[in-house]
Amino acid sequence: MKTKILALAAGLMTATALASVPAHADVKIGLLGGVSGPIAAMAPAMIDAAQLAVQQVNEQGGIGDGEKLVGVVGDSACNPQNGTDAATKAVNIEGVVGVVGPHCSGAVLAAAGSVTIPAGITMITPSGTSPEITNLEDNGTVYRTVPSDDYQGRALARTMKDRGYGKVAVAYLNNDYGTGLANAFKSEYVDELGGEITAFAAHEEGKASYRSNLAELAKGGADTLVIFDYGDGTGLTILRQALENGFFEKYVGGDGMKSDAVIKELGTENLTTFVSSSPVGEKSEALDIFNEAFKGVGGDPDAIFVTTSYDAAFLLALAIEKAGGDKAGVAAAVAEVSNGEGETILPGEWKKAKELIAAGTAIDYKGAAGDLNFDAKGDVPGTYALWEVGADGFEVVTEMK
């Protein structure tokens, strides 16, 4: 009997000891994307790229002392209200320590201003390109892995001038993305390069017909229509109706128009004079590593914003590790792990990064989209290319500078 009592006591002591060991908690980050809305066709690949970074972190030891990194997907729907709602849920209900996204500029500005900045939560957007993001009073908490549209608009203007485009008309979506990109393009094309814009007009989203808008745009005699909109939404409608009615001969889009939906809906044979700008990863070992890894999980490395999405998630994980899981320290840690100084970390090198951070050694992440050395406003330089539609989809025509 005494033996049985001792055995029972030992078992209870063991159970008590095990119960006193805290279970590893998940470390959550928000992945807020345009799952619905005008970039719905682009968003899945972007989220998949971010989830690849999450997968690599967990396969190589997780966060801290083996905590699992979890990407909580939310739908910002590419508009301010949904962006705010998705961020509120992620921060206040899911308890995320950082956010990748939202995908669209209006959602970024709204979610940052209403939710993440007041909460002190770090946000890294892979595709919010409005110049207004630069000017946020964000206490150093908002970053982006994609260049500002001020750069894209000006680079597109220079590239078009170099390629012999003359008179152009500009149609842009009346939101933060469309307005910022259009104004940057206009400033460079007209004021700096002496080009001619015969018509420059905003339009609202979601109308069934834009034929009257297109007729007005065509009155100035331009042979080229520049569209700053989304190829999954209104931009597709405008391009379709312009082609159907022969309003222009050539068509140029910003990055929002580089969507597979344009090809699927309109057909390759109808897009022989259509080109679009889009960010590309700088040719590097880091880009090659990402491309191979993303292909390995069934991803398309040429899909828009996949490199910047992967980098945003991997960077956020590095910053969380650097900050010891303290969400208040994550924002400052983002710049510390990608500033051009320290041991190089390439995509997927999580185990190496963990060991160096634990040893107190400085690290420098070299991303799939570039070196990502952030300036004081959380912005990065970048590389863009002009794309045309070929037999196998979008193909690079030339780099844009």
How does strand 384-390 pair with strand 274-279? antiparallel
Phi/psi of residue 238, nearest 5 degrees = -65, -45
Task: State how far the Cα of 385 lies from the Cα of 124, in Å rounded to an integer.
Answer: 23
CATH homologous superfamily of domain 150-278+384-400? Answer: Response regulator (3.40.50.2300)
- Max alpha carbon distance in the chain (Å)? 103
CATH homologous superfamily of domain 27-147+283-365? Answer: Response regulator (3.40.50.2300)
Q: Is the pLDDT of residue 255 over 80?
A: yes
Domain 27-147+283-365 matches domain 150-278+384-400 at the CATH topology level: yes
Quote the pTM value. 0.88
Q: What pLDDT shows up at residue 307?
A: 95
| All residues at 6 or more sequence positions from 267 whose CB lies less than 8 Å from its CB, including other chains | none
Q: What pLDDT shows up at residue 11?
A: 44
Cis peptide before 102 (omega within 30 of 0): yes
Q: Is the pLDDT of residue 24 over 70?
A: no
What's the whole-number mean pLDDT along residues 278-292?
92
Task: State how far the Cα of 313 lies from the Cα of 290, in Å rounded to an integer.
Answer: 13
Six-digit token string for 69 = 């990194």
Segment 372-381, tens digit of pLDDT: 999 999 999 8
Q: Is the pLDDT of residue 285 over 50?
A: yes
Tally of residues, the chain: 401
Report helix, strand or coil for 114: helix
Rg from Cα positions in the chain:
24
H/E element, 277: strand 274-279
Task: State how far the Cα of 308 lies from the Cα of 372, in Å rounded to an integer.
Answer: 10
- In the chain, where the domains are located: 27-147+283-365, 150-278+384-400
By C-alpha distance, which of 113, 103, 187 is closest to 150? 187
Q: Is the pLDDT of residue 17 over 80?
A: no
Report helix, strand or coil for 127: coil
- The rounded percent of the chain whose pLDDT value lies above 90 is 91
Beta strands in 168-213 (DSSP E): 168-173, 197-203
